[in-house]
């Protein structure tokens, strides 16, 4: 299991930006934004800068 921050998530509804790993990414897609509860799509993630 990865503990690094592999993606940057930016909520399209509330603009919250969070660095996440793969497991957190999957949880956000399944459960929605942790801040505002809006639906999250795979397109809301960008690869983290190296």
pTM, two decimal places: 0.84
Question: What is the structure's pLDDT at 49?
Answer: 78
Q: What is the pLDDT along the chain (50 residues), one digit of tens a residue?
A: 445 889 999 999 999 999 999 999 999 999 999 999 999 999 999 998 76
What is the Cβ-side half-sphere exposure of residue 43, based on CA atoms within 13 angstroms?
Answer: 2
| Domain locations along the chain | 7-47
């Amino acid at each position: 299991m990865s503990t690094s921050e592999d993606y940057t998530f930016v909520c399209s509804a509330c603009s919250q930006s969070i660095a996440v790993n793969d497991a957190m990414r999957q949880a956000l897609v399944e459960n929605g934004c942790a801040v505002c509860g809006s639906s999250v799509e795979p397109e809301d993630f960008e690869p983290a800068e190296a």
